[in-house]
Structure 1
């Protein structure tokens, strides 16, 4: 298969997981390449996600690396093939690095836990709220940059409306609910939208109130914990100034999984969270 340039996050992840299997088997890149009859340079490109690999090749690698985890091997095999363009690819030249990758990760997610301190989750924002957030960015965005980001965010939300959507849980701090982006009408519409979305079977919204502590465990950093088909393929997306940062190291996944669990434990249950948002809505004048 031909080289891939540039690789998507999903392709880079497949390559890194194959590298992990090789390293656990105690094989050098050169030794592993020799087993498959090609040059070390090709192995390096495969593990960097820059050279497409077939499902059969992935299964052969897993056998040679003595990987007996059938679930993981099946999941890796499903990630193979050449680059398949998604709607998000049209934004790669217009948005910061990582935005298109985020849409791709969400598209393939088996579940998402969004943990937010200051902002409403992007997948639950109304267009007016999202536009107000982008217009408040520092340094200021140009009008066309705002519209590019808004369009991208709204298209991302399609995963919540497709057939057989993945479970989505948003754990939102009261601080985020009280932010007044866009003025009173926008605030009211945003809170009403959250209540409407919470009625969907696959969407769960939980609020962490100021009362009773109201703090998030850890640093309080907002993040999405994205579940893969197997735990080894989970991904954490962090909000950072340039755009998005993705984490998939085993130790980091364990840390953020624990933080998400503690956040959920400090939050109100879905019914009380809905009541809480209703109370905030009544107070908006």
Structure 2
């Protein structure tokens, strides 16, 4: 297969995992290429995500590297094949690549947990709330750029409803419920949407109240995307300079613990709904 014209986050992750396996086996890329019967450049391109590989080729590499974790190898093989265009590709020329990577990650995740402190979870936002927050971007976005991003954010929500909905847990700090982006009408509609979304069987909305004495996060929005096996989980941090994707074992362990601690300190669903309803009524 020829090198891919563009490299997606998923392809990069597959290549990175294959590189980890090779390095754990103590093999150089030259030695790995010799075992595969291919030029060294082929291994380098595969590990950089520039060269598409088949599931059989991944299994051969894993066998050469002495990996006996069948579930892990099966999951890696499932990440291969011909490059398929997801709906997010239509935004390739109008949005930063990190946003497209986020949509691709959400599409393939087996479950999502999100923890936010100021903004509403992206997949639970009304279009008016999203538009109001994007007007606050620095540097300012042009009107057409805002509309591109709003339509993209709304399309991302499809994973919560279409086909087999992705299980989704949102841990929302009470501060976010009071922000009031867009004015009272927009804020009220946003809170009502949170309540409606929380009624879906695969969506859980939990509130971390002001009265909680501990706060185990740094403040930035966190998305913990569960993969088909724990080794393929991914953390996404929403920063001022864009999405930051983390997948090192130590990073996964840290943020898994952070999200779990936040979830344990949040109010149960019925009490969370009461808080959201009370704030909406006060607007």
Alpha-carbon separation, structure 1, partners of 2:233 and 2:197: 25
The corresponding residue for 1:57 is 57
Q: CA deviation at 1:81?
A: 1.3
Moved more, 192-201 or 271-280: 271-280
Q: CA deviation at 1:275?
A: 1.0
Alpha-carbon separation, structure 1, partners of 2:237 and 2:92: 18
Ranges in structure 2 where 5+ consecutive residues have no aligned partner:
none
Q: Does structure 1 residue 75 correspond to structure 2 residue 61?
A: no
Residues 56 and 81 from structure 1, CA distance in 2 versus in 1: closer, same or farther, beyond 3 angstroms?
same
Q: CA deviation at 1:243?
A: 2.0
Alpha-carbon separation, structure 1, partners of 2:70 and 2:270: 39
Alpha-carbon separation, structure 1, partners of 2:16 and 2:254: 20
Q: CA deviation at 1:181?
A: 0.5
Q: Does structure 1 residue 237 correspond to structure 2 residue 236?
A: yes
Q: Does structure 1 residue 208 correspond to structure 2 residue 238?
A: no
Q: CA deviation at 1:122?
A: 0.5
Alpha-carbon separation, structure 1, partners of 2:12 and 2:106: 16
Alpha-carbon separation, structure 2, partners of 1:279 and 1:218: 25
The corresponding residue for 1:11 is 11
5 Å matches for 1:77-92? 77-92=77-92
Alpha-carbon separation, structure 1, partners of 2:215 and 2:33: 46
The corresponding residue for 1:142 is 142
Q: CA deviation at 1:279?
A: 1.1
Q: CA deviation at 1:96?
A: 1.9
Alpha-carbon separation, structure 2, partners of 1:114 and 1:124: 11
Q: Secondary structure at the match of 2:193?
A: helix
Alpha-carbon contact 1:92-1:99 (below 8 Å) kept: no
Alpha-carbon separation, structure 2, partners of 1:133 and 1:281: 18
**Number of aligned residues:** 283
Superposition RMSD on alpha carbons, in Å?
Answer: 0.9
1:103-159 CA-partner distances (Å, limit 9, x unpaired): 000000100000101100010000110010111212211000100100110000011
Q: CA deviation at 1:186?
A: 0.5
Q: CA deviation at 1:221?
A: 2.2
Alpha-carbon separation, structure 2, partners of 1:281 and 1:239: 26
Alpha-carbon separation, structure 2, partners of 1:49 and 1:219: 32
Alpha-carbon separation, structure 1, partners of 2:120 and 2:281: 19
Alpha-carbon separation, structure 2, partners of 1:105 and 1:212: 32
Alpha-carbon separation, structure 1, partners of 2:9 and 2:51: 13
Q: CA deviation at 1:97?
A: 2.8
Q: Does structure 1 residue 269 correspond to structure 2 residue 268?
A: yes
The corresponding residue for 2:185 is 185
Superposition misfits of 4+ residues, deviation over 6 angstroms: none
Q: Does structure 1 residue 278 correspond to structure 2 residue 272?
A: no
Q: TM-score, normalised by structure 1?
A: 0.97
Ranges in structure 1 where 5+ consecutive residues have no aligned partner:
none
Q: Does structure 1 residue 44 correspond to structure 2 residue 44?
A: yes
Q: Secondary structure at the match of 1:98?
A: helix
